Amino acid sequence: MSLALAPGKCQSTEMEPITVTDEAVVVTGDSQTLTYRPRRITVSDGTFLMHESRGGTLSSVWATDLGGRFVEVIHLGDGPVGGELVMVVPDVDVVAVGDLYTDSQPPTPRPSWPAAVDLAIGLTTPRSRILTSSGSIAREELEAFHQRLLGLLHG
């Protein structure tokens, strides 16, 4: 599965704190880098995280300091596949929700999916840069998606 977190090209410039490619989001600190994919996080020191439902050890939340850049990784509930992770980088107001948001509408969402999206909305501000597997979206788009999921689940 290809990850298209940004339309088109890499946004990399010298020492940008967040680099978005078609495959991942890379967060750069002074001493380490973290690579985010919707179900797997890797840190340049060799640390990797996956939710326990996917064979990892993360059950709810994990945080690290990459050297001047604090990052939180959270499992808010299952989305379309299960084990989706959300990443928050507070100092640059970025929230990566990965596959919790999708352009396509599922016929019947998992019961935990709307709750996970609702919790992800709570991690954002009106100015947050929200990164999904299909590109950047505004908070209003994430809120509208949440309502569509609720409508599909509860009619």
- Token look-up 């609702």 returns 118
- Let me know: does 115 contact 146? Beta carbons within 8 Å: no
pLDDT at residue number 15: 57
In angstroms, how far is CA 25 from the centroid of its own chain?
A: 9
Q: What's the pTM value of the predicted model, to 2 decimals?
A: 0.89
What span, in angstroms and rounded, lies between the C-alpha atoms of 80 and 48? Answer: 22
pLDDT at residue number 1: 35
Which token pair is 67?
């050297």
pLDDT at residue number 16: 83
pLDDT at residue number 126: 95
The three-state secondary structure class of 3 is coil
- Let me know: does 95 contact 129? Beta carbons within 8 Å: yes
pLDDT at residue number 98: 96
The 3-state secondary structure of the chain, one letter per residue: CCCCCCCCCCCCCCCCCEEECCCCEEEECCCCEEEEECCEEEECCCCEECEHHHCCCECCEEEEECCCCEEEEECCCCCCCCCCCEEEEHHHCEEEEECCCCCCCCCCCCCCHHHHHHHHHHCCCCCCEEEECCEEECHHHHHHHHHHHHHHHHC
Domain boundaries, given as residue ranges, for the chain = 18-154
pLDDT at residue number 107: 75
Which token pair is 129?
């840069």
CATH superfamily of 18-154: Ribonuclease Z/Hydroxyacylglutathione hydrolase-like (3.60.15.10)
Going from the first residue of the chain to its last (155 residues), give the mean pLDDT of each consecutive group of 10, the final group possibly shorter. Answer: 37 68 95 97 97 94 97 96 96 97 85 96 97 95 96 89
pLDDT at residue number 13: 37
pLDDT at residue number 105: 76
- Let me know: does 26 contact 17? Beta carbons within 8 Å: no
Which token pair is 148?
């569509």
